[in-house]
Structure 1
Amino acid sequence: MKQKYFIDSHKGATAIAVIAMMAWHGAWDQTAAWVYLALHGSYGVFWVLKSRIFGDKSWEAATGLGYGLVIWGGLSLYWIGPWLLMSRGVEPHPGILALCIALYCSGVFLHFASDMQKHMHLAHRPGVLLSDGLWSRSRNPNYLGELLIYASFVILPLHWAPPLVLLAFMSIIWIPNMRRKDRSLARYPEFQTWKARSGLLFPKILK
């Protein structure tokens, strides 16, 4: 089986899991619970659509059931956030809700637009370094978008645990992947010039 089957199924199941939590905690009148469902639930749907239309080839790798379940279990750590939100009946200030919605919208634009740009670049300009558009000042705008998306999820519960989960994923998976990609792209002659004017994650504005 491919890794993407486990990732996609988990992302797609998020809305169902959040609705189940709402039912368990009787959170039907909790505004923050509905906002969380709208954010994380829609992201799961968008991810599955992206996987089908312009998916990341790195998730095409074959894997066994054991490791697939590890992937599912790891991603389920993100469901700690909605559980804490609903079990504690948290209702963040409207300003916090607005911030999370703004972070989510910004992240969705960056993540999906940059992945689409990468998909089209690889299809029509193979062998050429992608270093323009959304990729001109950040070498990983898709990861930056994902960071903003998940920041909206982990802020809403107003608890220390969800941000730790995000930091763990960044430290164990995201940053090593970004550095591994840098080492691979260093084979291009123009890589060093691009690296000098761009940030690993956050855009380098002043160069």
Structure 2
Amino acid sequence: MHTANEASTTETSPSPSPTGDATGIKSNRPKVATYINVHKILVLPVVVGLMWYYDNWSTDAFIYLAMHGTYSLLWLLKHSMYADRKFEDRVPLWFGIPFIFVPLAGYYVAPYLLISSRTAVPPPVVGLALFVYILGVFYHYVSDAQKYYTLQVRKGLIKEGLFGRTRNPNYLGEILIYSGYAVMSFHWLPFLVLAGWVFGFFVRNMLAKDRSMSRYPDFAEYKRGTGLLFPKLW
């Protein structure tokens, strides 16, 4: 989940929402980041727990553990160094648990299928999973760092670096990361879970970001030279 790579947000009058009340008074509700971070913290013990329960200590299981475990650790490190401001919004438990934490648990389908089935993943498939995952890590974390630190210096559209060919390199990276997990599971169901996130959340947010960034005079030109998700090469 990500926010737009833009400099500012549009000010609107307060309105009732899960993130606060109509008066704008701060509350002690958990931040969106809290629900996400708890999920990331649980990845390693959950996957190791699956390995223990099914007594599956195979190389494939450890490869998956390394993939998902490093991603989660990097996410927590990123949050401590260059956190996404959007995840600082506060939401009540009745909203955060069923609509943030529980949907994220759908990503546990991949390790469950891989470990419980004891499937021997063919080496070429393992290689493909690692290739896609590593490429995704690069796009995801480098683009988030570029966005964060660029906006510390100047405001406005970010049109260079990883944002020079695609308007959403961070989403592209995240999709590639979870595609790597799906490939490693050697099952179709994790792809279905990922598709639900892509079309139910990512695409909606990318289109909303385009509408928001259209207020910049140079956005039309920038849009013509970039892809919504995949890099535009010509």
Provide the alpha-carbon RMSD of the alignment. 0.8
| 1:137-176, Cα deviation, whole Å (9 max, x unpaired) | 1000011111111110011111111100000000111010
Shift, 1:33, TM fit: 0.6
In the alignment, what sits opposite 1:101?
130
Displacement of 1:64 in angstroms is 0.4
- TM superposition score normalised by structure 2: 0.86
Q: What letter is aligned with 1:105?
A: I
Show CA shifts across 1:52-87 (max 9, x none).
Answer: 111111111110011221211110010011111111
Asked if 2 retains the 8 angstrom alpha-carbon contact of 1:31 and 1:91, the reply is no
| Number of residue-to-residue matches in the alignment | 204
Give the corresponding residue for 1:67.
95
Matched, 1:179 2:207: yes
Partner of 1:76: 105
2:219 paired residue among 182, 191, 197 = 191
Whichever residue aligns with residue 87 of structure 2, its letter is W
Output the CA distance in 2 between the equivalents of 1:63 and 1:133: 34
- Please tell me the residue identity of whatever aligns with 2:82: F
Say yes or no: does 1:160 pair with 2:177: no
Q: Give the one of 40, 49, 52 matched to 2:68.
A: 40
- Determine the structure 2 residue equivalent to 1:149: 177
**Corresponding residue number in structure 2 for 1:11:** 40
Indicate the structure (1 or 2) with the bigger Cα radius of gyration.
2
1: CA distance between counterparts of 2:120 and 2:49?
A: 19
**How far apart in 2 are the matches of 1:51 and 1:68?**
18
Percent identity over the alignment? 39
- List runs of 5+ in structure 1 lacking aligned partners: none
Q: Which residue of 1 aligns with 2:145?
A: 116
Q: 2:43, 2:68 within 8 Å by CA — same for their partners in 1?
A: yes
Query: C-alpha distance in 2, partners of 1:88/1:162?
Result: 14
Structure having the higher helix fraction is 1
Partner Cα separation in structure 1 for residue 223 and residue 179 of structure 2: 26
Verify the 8 A CA contact 2:128 2:183 in the aligned structure 1.
Answer: no
Query: Contact 2:214 / 2:220 at 8 angstroms: preserved in 1?
Result: yes
The CA distance in 2 between the partners of 1:178 and 1:171, in whole Å, is: 10
2-side partners of 1:23 and 1:132: how far apart?
46
**Partner-residue secondary structure (3-state), 2:185:** coil
- Structure 1 consecutive aligned stretches of length 4 or more whose deviation exceeds 6 Å: none
